[in-house]
């Protein structure tokens, strides 16, 4: 892909982002000449931008390499730990904290059960103190941290940075989570919907280069959602709440959904419903559906029992069937060739359901695409949305657009 650029006398954020993006993606380093050839930038502009990135410590020079006639060229390499980002994921069951480097690799992490029945303000305070101790225990220089990304279930109000009454987080109505974190750490902070966060994480750190930047991310935490990336960009929708697939119909039976119909995906793949169905068959204890932390623990225990329990295997096979029905509709709609399966509940079920999803989608008579569909497990595991929230900070800092507060901090840290 050829990158455009503007040969302006000043080194703008845009040109810097173009050059930085090429260096970041070149795992073996890249020379200034090669960058010039890949962009519309002049050799002088590339040289100026490279100097600024070198001065900022974001890139380093490698060995001189000879390729054909002419003088040997010095390669430029990313310095992955030159800058870091904090990513936090507020899920109804667990809160996950991560610090990622410029490649989206985790350098420190922590995870706790989401406290049930606490006021949002108290949960915010505990998020702040846990983040603070992660920075201290990870021995991370705060000056290298570009900012904070925080992922939460939708709906979110991106303008105001608030969590806006997600169905599975009672009491979180109009809670200004972004500003609470920004004020506590005096850092640029961005709020993002959890499925979008997971999608940004897959783009930065998921290892899907062969997918050409087109991905569907099927996300299963306490709730279910869809992330979409087209041409290396995570789609967000008019209010950044894209991806609610809870009312896709995946069966003709099942309980009556709150929308009044039967067979909705949200009910079909609800971990609370599945663990209680298992309990009704004598596999484990029943759990209050509103106790999301307990549901997640019970779901993990149920999956551990699957190898020895045919009834549990039957439930997980039914789960695979419902997911496959949704995935078939999604790939038909989007014409993507890669679907990434992600989220903390999925991470528990993956070993027992991935093959069942793959084989059903491949065999579906409803699949209309003229190409194979690759359905893969996320390499980011249960931390995908937290890692993605950190990657959202990187995305905001180095995006090919107007410089953001993250950009200024990234370039001056």
Residues at the interface with Zn ion (CB under 5 A):
247, 257, 259, 264
Residue 105 or 247: which CB sits closer to Zn ion? Answer: 247
Residue 158 or 224: which CB sits closer to Zn ion? Answer: 224
Rounded Cα distance between 214 and 361, Å, is 18
Residue 264 or 287: which CB sits closer to Zn ion? Answer: 264
Relative to beta strand 224-230, strand 233-234 is antiparallel
Residue 19 or 269: which CB sits closer to Zn ion? Answer: 269
Residue 247 or 313: which CB sits closer to Zn ion? Answer: 247
H or E element in which residue 403 lies: none
Closest CB 270 distance from Zn ion, rounded Å = 11
Number of H helices, E strands in the chain: 13, 16
Closest CB 260 distance from Zn ion, rounded Å = 7
Closest CB 177 distance from Zn ion, rounded Å = 27
Supply angle C-alpha 163, 169, 173, rounded to 5: 40
Rounded Cα distance between 408 and 222, Å, is 36
Residue 247 or 351: which CB sits closer to Zn ion? Answer: 247
Closest CB 13 distance from Zn ion, rounded Å = 44
Closest CB 131 distance from Zn ion, rounded Å = 36
Closest CB 236 distance from Zn ion, rounded Å = 23
Closest CB 268 distance from Zn ion, rounded Å = 10
Residue 87 or 246: which CB sits closer to Zn ion? Answer: 246
Task: Give 350-377 as a DSSP string.
Answer: HHHHHHHHHHHHHH-TT---SS--EEEE
Closest CB 247 distance from Zn ion, rounded Å = 4
Chain-centroid distance of CA 381 in Å reads: 10
Closest CB 264 distance from Zn ion, rounded Å = 3
Residue 177 or 245: which CB sits closer to Zn ion? Answer: 245
Q: How many other C-beta atoms can be found within 10 angstroms of the C-beta atom of residue 290? A: 13
Residue 108 or 257: which CB sits closer to Zn ion? Answer: 257
């Amino acid at each position: 892909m050829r990158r455009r650029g503007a040969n302006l006398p000043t080194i703008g954020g845009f040109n810097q982002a173009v050059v930085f993006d090429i260096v970041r993606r070149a795992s073996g380093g890249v020379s200034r000449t090669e960058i010039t050839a890949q962009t519309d930038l002049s050799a002088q502009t590339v040289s100026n931008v490279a100097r600024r990135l070198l001065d900022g410590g974001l890139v380093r020079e490698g060995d001189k390499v000879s390729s054909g006639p002419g003088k040997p060229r010095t390669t430029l390499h990313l310095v992955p730990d030159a800058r870091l980002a904090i990513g936090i994921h507020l899920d109804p069951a667990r809160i996950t904290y991560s610090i990622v480097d410029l490649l989206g690799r985790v350098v420190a992490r922590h995870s706790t059960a989401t406290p049930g029945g606490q006021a949002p303000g108290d949960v915010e305070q505990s998020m702040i103190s846990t983040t603070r101790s992660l920075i201290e225990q990870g021995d991370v220089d705060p000056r290298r941290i570009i900012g904070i990304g925080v992922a939460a279930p939708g709906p979110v109000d991106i303008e105001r940075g608030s969590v806006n009454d997600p169905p599975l987080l009672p009491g979180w109505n109009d809670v200004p989570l972004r500003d609470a974190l920004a004020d506590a750490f005096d850092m640029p902070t961005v709020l993002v919907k959890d499925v979008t966060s997971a999608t940004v994480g897959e783009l930065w750190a998921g290892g899907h280069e062969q997918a050409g930047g087109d991905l569907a991310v099927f996300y299963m935490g306490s709730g279910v959602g869809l992330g979409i990336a087209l041409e290396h960009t995570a789609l967000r929708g008019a209010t950044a709440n894209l991806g609610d697939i809870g009312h896709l119909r995946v069966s003709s039976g099942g309980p009556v959904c709150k929308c009044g119909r039967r067979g909705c995906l949200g009910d079909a793949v609800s971990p609370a419903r599945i663990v209680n169905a298992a309990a009704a068959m004598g596999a484990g204890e029943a759990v209050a559906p509103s106790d999301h932390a307990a549901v997640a623990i019970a779901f993990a225990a149920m999956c551990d029992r699957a190898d020895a329990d045919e009834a549990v295997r039957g439930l997980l096979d039914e789960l695979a069937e419902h997911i496959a029905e949704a995935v078939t509709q999604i790939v038909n709609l989007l014409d993507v060739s890669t679907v990434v399966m992600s989220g903390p509940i999925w991470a528990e079920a993956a070993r027992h359901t991935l093959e069942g999803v793959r084989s059903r989608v491949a065999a579906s008579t409803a699949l209309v695409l003229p190409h194979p569909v690759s359905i893969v497990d996320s390499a980011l595991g249960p931390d995908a949305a937290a890692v993605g929230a950190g990657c959202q900070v990187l995305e905001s800092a180095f995006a090919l657009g107007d410089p953001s507060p993250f950009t200024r901090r990234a370039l001056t840290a």
